Structure 1
Amino acid sequence: MQHSEARDRQLRPRVLVVLPTYNERQSLQPVAEAVLAAAPGVDLLIVDDASPDGTGDIADALAGGSPRVTVMHRGGKLGLGTAYIAGFRAALERGYDFAVEMDSDGSHQPGDLPRLLAAARDGADLVIGTRWMPGGRIVHWPLHRRVLSKGGTAFARRALRSELRDLTSGFRVLSRESLTRLQLDSIVSEGYAFQVETAWRLERQGCRVTEVPITFVERAAGRSKMSWRIMREAFTNVLRWGKEVRSQASQRASQRN
């Protein structure tokens, strides 16, 4: 029986898509329904940070209409990173094989999800939906947003000596093993620096990382959560981590000499 169960899980791994929400009442329902349709075998966890616009009520209605949807209500706006960590903990506790990071504003296309999941089933510890690679593209972004995103990625790659092409992408699949290796209690980033921190950690540990091209579409409704505080956190953290990388490299070089 145990052998049969293990084989079944290998063929049909359990997947939990984590959708953090804050004031996404216009986009949540179509995004959630599209995810469930695009990947019929996955479940969905909506993590709502007490959205004042009624997003939490829409999440509850979705959960009431499908056993594949659950909702986690939090007491306030606690940050993107902590929402994903809460979702990752739930994935581990509930026995899922993979957890998916995905925006709830419609920027990430549910139609791309099966390709990311296929890469995960092929053995990747982390699959990143990448905009900055052949086959990847961005729709409806003005030039300044493209420059800011690509420049931020280039800065992080150089500072951290990373080979990854889209460290800031928030469309990802993580294996159960990689979730465990992240040591969730030790993650310090709350905003978009969370994406850089987690990908870089797994890359440094020698995990298998696969990048898959995606189409990123600028949100059609609602407001972006990007702020100067979030950008400052990312810049400060990357600088600090980069300094640590160079210090460790210098120490290893001294030891060899």
Structure 2
Amino acid sequence: MEPILVIVPTYCERDNLTAITRRVRAAVPEAHVLVVDDNSPDGTGALADELASRDPRIHVLHRPGRAGLGAAYLAGFAHGLAEGFEVLVEMDADGSHRPEELPALLRAVEAGADLAIGSQWVRGGRVLHWPRRRRLLSRGGNAYVRIVLGLPVRDATAGFRAYRAATLDKLGLEEVASQGYCFQVDLTLRTVRRGLRVQEVPITFADRTAGDSKMSRAIVAEALWRVTLWGLAGLRARLRRPRT
């Protein structure tokens, strides 16, 4: 497999970081891990430095403050592409994405996928310990994305995914301004519209057991607003096409 970089954004994830990096290194020993820390006040960044001092395949990117998930991943992508990694992985630090399922994503990329998404809403996928409201929000949000954007993806908001470096090079990352769930939809849409291959891989999503969720109403509102705008822009573009 090509050189692999697993990007793990962190903000106040000290209680989870040691375990998640250990599990990633055990699941895919050849992979490198990049912790992108947004100056966590709980000392996550200092812990990441300590872990990196003991393992040459763990690296740390310190950012001056909390700027959002999308910005953290864009910084991680830029670092990974500059360092010559061929496969770049997104993964949460809280344990909700199981590192033990990472090899399945990598196999999908190795088999030809330009983007492999760990999906909870395809056959074989499942969610553990989510309240009914959270399930409805995720299912409903993804249904809205499919209808409004015409995306052939069941879990476009998923944050456990693997990109080929060549895929990221084609997505116009310098134009991306979205965050949170919306960031994932944005990059999925860009991948599909460029005619690249997206494959969903069933995973088990388990809610965090330590630390606080970063989900907020603002993140949901941004996703709804941006998806609606993208859908309207796509509709206008279709209406303007000359009829043959």
TM-score (norm 1): 0.94
Aligned to 1:117: 106
Residue deviations 1:139-164 (CA, integer Å, cap 9, x gap): 11111110011101111111101111
Residue deviations 1:202-243 (CA, integer Å, cap 9, x gap): 011110111100000000011110111111111110000000
Residue deviations 1:59-118 (CA, integer Å, cap 9, x gap): 111101100000000000010000000010111100000100000000000110001001
Superposed, which structure 2 residues align to 1:139-150 within 5 Å? 139-150=128-139
Residue deviations 1:6-35 (CA, integer Å, cap 9, x gap): xxxxxx310000000000011111011000
User: What amino acid does structure 2 have at the position aligned with 1:125?
Assistant: D
Aligned to 1:256: 243
Q: Distance in 2 between matches of 1:115 and 1:86?
A: 25
The one of 174, 185, 189 equivalent to 1:200 is 189
Listed as ranges, the gaps of 5+ residues in structure 1 are: 1-11
The one of 204, 212, 219 equivalent to 1:230 is 219
Superposed, which structure 2 residues align to 1:12-91 within 5 Å? 12-91=1-80
User: What amino acid does structure 1 have at the position aligned with 2:225?
Assistant: T
Residue deviations 1:184-215 (CA, integer Å, cap 9, x gap): 11002022210000011101111011110000
Q: Distance in 2 between matches of 1:249 and 1:163?
A: 18
Q: Distance in 1 between matches of 2:149 and 2:9?
A: 27
Residue deviations 1:24-63 (CA, integer Å, cap 9, x gap): 0111110110001000110000000000011111111110
Deviating runs (4+, > 3 A) in structure 1?
none
Aligned to 1:7: none
Q: Distance in 2 between matches of 1:25 and 1:151?
A: 32
Structure exhibiting the larger radius of gyration computed from Cα positions: 1
Q: Give the number of aligned pairs.
A: 244
1:155 aligns to 2:144 (yes or no): yes
Aligned to 2:119: 130
User: What amino acid does structure 2 have at the position aligned with 1:208?
Assistant: R
* SS across alignment from 1:201: helix
* SS across alignment from 1:173: strand
Aligned to 1:167: 156
Aligned to 2:83: 94
* SS across alignment from 1:86: helix
The one of 174, 177, 186 equivalent to 1:185 is 174
User: What amino acid does structure 2 have at the position aligned with 1:242?
Assistant: G
User: What amino acid does structure 2 have at the position aligned with 1:116?
Assistant: L
Residue deviations 1:150-181 (CA, integer Å, cap 9, x gap): 10111111110111110000000000111101
Q: Distance in 1 between matches of 2:231 and 2:112?
A: 29
* SS across alignment from 2:117: strand
* SS across alignment from 1:16: strand
